[in-house]
Amino acid sequence: MILTCPSCDTRYSVDGSKFPVAGRTVRCAKCGHSWHQAGETPEPEIAPEIAPREPDPEPRAAPEGAAAADPYPVNPSSTRAYAPAAHAPVPRGPLAPKLAVVAGWVGLIAVVLLIAVSAVRYRQDIAVIWPQSAGVYSSLGLPVNSSGIDFRQVDYRRESEDGQIVLAVTGMIVNAGARELPVPQTVRVTLSDASKRELYHWNFKPTATILKPGQSVPFTTRLSSPPAAARHLEVRFAKDGS
């Protein structure tokens, strides 16, 4: 069944079998004009699928008091199905905060271990730059020389000269630091007995005043008639005149 709007001549195709014979009031979906449209005698044939005729596929005719009939109604659910989803926050599992705390503790422990290893490995250089740290290292069983100048290969032997016993002490004075350092000018040799009680000491002056990193210089000092009870020997730097 074809409906034609008396106002704008827009035509609509509707199912005549569903249109009452007595007619009904309809409204043009294009211009909004309403009129009474009589029905037609139903035909035994199956009416064709309702569809707007070309070239006006958009107009719709609707009963009075309601929106114009739409032969192809849009399913709101289908529209929602293709609507872009809002960016919802990614849910975080219950273990995420705990993992973050564990990762923080692991990182902190790694930093502390790195600092500790560096402090032990470079303790000699640290003691030279910060002499007060020498006491800390000594309390940990890691003695260091805060001056950066150390003794190596220290040895002694007893010799006889003109019927007299002479104690000869030899060794190397080494710059164990990473920069050029002055050599303390007073070296003290101390002899002690089996109970570590001092018996005698004497001083001597090294032959070098400055040593470059890794550089060394030998020393030799001698003492005539050393104490017979001497059992231990210590070589160290002493303050000038002490």
Query: Which domain CATH number covers 227?
Result: 2.60.40
Same-domain pairing of 233 and 153:
yes
Structural domain of 66: 1-76
pLDDT of residue 118: 80
Last residue of a domain, one of 146, 181, 203: 146
Last residue of a domain, one of 76, 91, 115: 76
Same-domain pairing of 230 and 156:
yes
Q: How many CB atoms lie within 10 A of CB 126?
A: 19
Q: Which of 155, 223, 219, 135 is nearest to 185 (CA)?
A: 219
- Note whether 68 and 50 are within 8 A (CB): no
Same-domain pairing of 45 and 71:
yes
Last residue of a domain, one of 88, 118, 146: 146
CA 80 to centroid of chain Cα atoms? 43
Same-domain pairing of 171 and 228:
yes
Contacts for 156-162 with beta carbons within 8 Å, 24 or more apart? 156/233, 158/226, 161/224
> How far is it, in rounded angstroms, from Cα 22 to Cα 164?
154
Q: Walk along the chain (242 residues) and give the pLDDT tens digit of each residue.
A: 787 888 888 888 877 776 677 778 888 888 888 877 777 765 555 655 555 566 655 555 555 544 444 554 555 444 444 444 555 555 566 677 888 888 888 888 998 888 888 877 766 667 666 665 666 766 776 766 656 788 899 999 988 888 889 999 999 999 987 888 888 889 999 999 999 999 999 999 999 999 998 899 999 999 998 998 999 999 998 875 55
pLDDT of residue 200: 93
Same-domain pairing of 120 and 153:
no
Instruction: Find all residues with CB under 8 Å of 9, minimum gap 6, and list them.
Output: none
Q: For residue 97, what is the enclosing H or E element?
A: helix 96-121
pLDDT of residue 203: 93
Q: Domains in the chain: how many in total?
A: 3
Same-domain pairing of 177 and 233:
yes
